[in-house]
Amino acid sequence: MDGNLSNKAKIIFHVDMNSFYASVEMASDATLKGKPVAIAGNVEERRGIIVTCSYEAREFGVKTTMPVWQAKKLCPHLIVKQPNFELYRKASKAMFQLLRGYTDLVEPVSIDEGYMDMTHALSEHPLHIANMIQEQLLRELDLPCSIGIAPNKFLAKMASDMKKPLGITILRKREIPTILWPMPVHEMHGVGKKTAEKLQTIGVVTIGDLASTNELQLKSLLGINGIRLKERANGIDTRPVDPESIHDYKSIGNSTTLPKDTTIQQDLLETLLSLSKTVSARLKNKNVYATNLAITIRYKDRSTYSRSEKLANPMQTEKDIYEQAKRLFIKHWNGNPVRLLGVTGNDLVEQDHAFKQLDIFTYEKDAKEEPLIKTMEKLRDKFGKDIIVKGWNNYHKEGQTDTGFNKDFLRREDE
């Protein structure tokens, strides 16, 4: 990295662990090293789904979302393991602790990746420090990673994806036209399959096309996100590396005083449904998800109780919020007349970080519904986005199925 970049611009590292879950299993059991390993639920059943796999398994064509039976057909000696949540969480904490030894400005974005602002922490060339980090992770934790080095978070993320496994890539702004712009737009961080398909309808095939597309056309197609994507395509990203983002305690809620104190459960549940609808709409407007849900019950005597619960997976839809609120209400309502009800989504995470927790049962359900999702997308493309509203949204990392734990999972202390 040249002197101008070091002196005048930020230096951001994006550290992305390679095949993290499989790598952690190998670090824990040396007999697995160099072998094709996959993580899946229902290991003994044909309907089990591959969640992630080692690079050795990928060489045989094994991929995420693939049924176990199909993976074993491609790779008969595939070793399939059930997930060990505590083991992965422990390895993640150790990894981030190691990174904080180089700078206090470390921002985890999922269990296996994070940003480091190295602008004022460098005593040597960035490439040398990146090598040190990579070697230390291997030496102390036996975990491989790829590192992207760039003047902002977006470019650092793009750089870390360019060489895997064990790659280190520097991406300078002046290299954007020659390195970034020729890439297919679907390979750009922040552009999923559906967005890429929409962009293709206006002739945007490469990242370079996106960088030069008319802003009015983009905004009409994708809303404000279209403008943001164009900025990214031009290498513009002013987001700071924020170590505290993982500890954000934000909330969106709604409450209402009932027309009269009541013990009629159906009326109370209908009120919860209305509140859930409002909270869902507000979450969607802010592009955030709740990782904790709370209800408030105020009785006739004005005594007020709030009860909350951490969620296994980030939540945004009316249906999910209502089901959780209903369950909490039925569990905690004492049967006395109710004067006020409230529903609040807490510990909010941004859309880009709302990765579903590695829950095999949920994951397999999502994978099975993939054909339905594709059919719905075709209908929306033909008749408009509001033709069908699905009960949940399944978010993916670029080009692969999400298997990262959510921020709340990382934040929790060991039980």
- Please check whether residues 148 and 19 belong to one and the same domain: yes
Contact 404, 355 (CB under 8 A): yes
What is the SS3 string spanning the chain?
CCHHHHHHCCCEEEEEECCHHHHHHHHHCHHHCCCCEEEECCCCCCCCEEEEECHHHHCCCCCCCCEHHHHHHHCCCCEEECCCHHHHHHHHHHHHHHHCCCCCCEEEEECCEEEEECCCCCCCCHHHHHHHHHHHHHHHHCCCEEEEEECCHHHHHHHHCCCCCCCEEECCHHHHHHHHCCCEHHHCCCCCHHHHHHHHCCCCCEHHHHHCCCHHHHHHHHCHHHHHHHHHHCCCCCCCCCCCHHHCCCEEEEEEEEEEEECCHHHHHHHHHHHHHHHHHHHHHHCEEEEEEEEEEEECCCCEEEEEEEEEEEECCHHHHHHHHHHHHHHHCCCCCEEEEEEEEECCEEHHHCCCCCCHHHHHHHHHCHHHHHHHHHHHHHHCCCCCCCCCCCCCECCECCCCCCHHHHHCCCC
- Please check whether residues 185 and 168 belong to one and the same domain: no
- Please check whether residues 192 and 144 belong to one and the same domain: no
In the numeric block, which tokens belong to residue 94?
């150790």
Active site residues: 113
- Please check whether residues 332 and 388 belong to one and the same domain: yes
Whether 185 maps to a domain, the answer reads: yes
Whether 330 maps to a domain, the answer reads: yes
Whether 217 maps to a domain, the answer reads: yes
pLDDT confidence of residue 59: 96
- Please check whether residues 157 and 36 belong to one and the same domain: yes
Query: 381-393 burial string, b = 16+ CB within 10 Å, else e?
Result: eeeeeeeeeeebe
Backbone φ/ψ region at 368: left (φ over 0), alpha (ψ -120 to 50), beta: alpha
Q: Determine if the peptide bond prior to 165 is cis (ω within 30°).
A: yes
Whether 238 maps to a domain, the answer reads: no
- Please check whether residues 101 and 185 belong to one and the same domain: no
pLDDT confidence of residue 351: 63
Annotation-wise, does 104 bind a ligand?
Answer: no
The values of phi and psi at residue 397, to 5°, are -70, 160
- Please check whether residues 104 and 25 belong to one and the same domain: yes
Whether 239 maps to a domain, the answer reads: no
Q: Spell out the per-residue pLDDT of the chain, length 415, in tens.
A: 444 444 458 999 999 999 999 999 999 999 999 999 999 866 555 567 888 899 999 999 999 888 999 999 999 999 999 888 789 989 999 999 999 999 999 999 888 999 999 999 988 999 999 999 999 999 999 999 999 999 999 999 999 999 999 999 999 999 999 999 999 999 999 898 889 999 999 999 999 999 999 999 999 999 888 999 999 999 999 999 998 776 554 678 888 889 899 999 999 999 999 999 999 998 887 778 888 899 999 998 888 888 999 888 888 999 999 999 999 999 999 999 999 999 999 888 776 555 444 344 444 444 444 444 445 544 555 444 444 433 333 333 322 333 333 333 333 332 2
Give the residue among 228, 224, 193, 189 at the shortest CA–CA distance from 211: 228
- Please check whether residues 120 and 137 belong to one and the same domain: yes
Give the residue among 308, 291, 282 at the shortest CA–CA distance from 248: 291
Whether 341 maps to a domain, the answer reads: yes
- Please check whether residues 28 and 164 belong to one and the same domain: yes
Residue where one domain finishes, among candidates 148, 172, 196: 172
Whether 194 maps to a domain, the answer reads: yes
Give the domain CATH number at 49: 3.30.70.270
Number of domains forming the structure of the chain: 3
Look up residue 401 and give its amino acid: T
Contact 184, 177 (CB under 8 A): no
Whether 199 maps to a domain, the answer reads: yes
pLDDT confidence of residue 379: 52
Task: Give the structural domain span for 406.
Answer: 244-415
- Please check whether residues 201 and 273 belong to one and the same domain: no
- Please check whether residues 26 and 47 belong to one and the same domain: yes
In the numeric block, which tokens belong to residue 155?
């470019």
In the numeric block, which tokens belong to residue 391?
């009960």
- Please check whether residues 257 and 323 belong to one and the same domain: yes
Give the domain CATH number at 286: 3.30.1490.100
Sign of CA dihedral 33, 38, 41, 43: negative
Contact 253, 295 (CB under 8 A): no
pTM of the full predicted structure? 0.64
Annotation-wise, does 112 bind a ligand?
Answer: yes
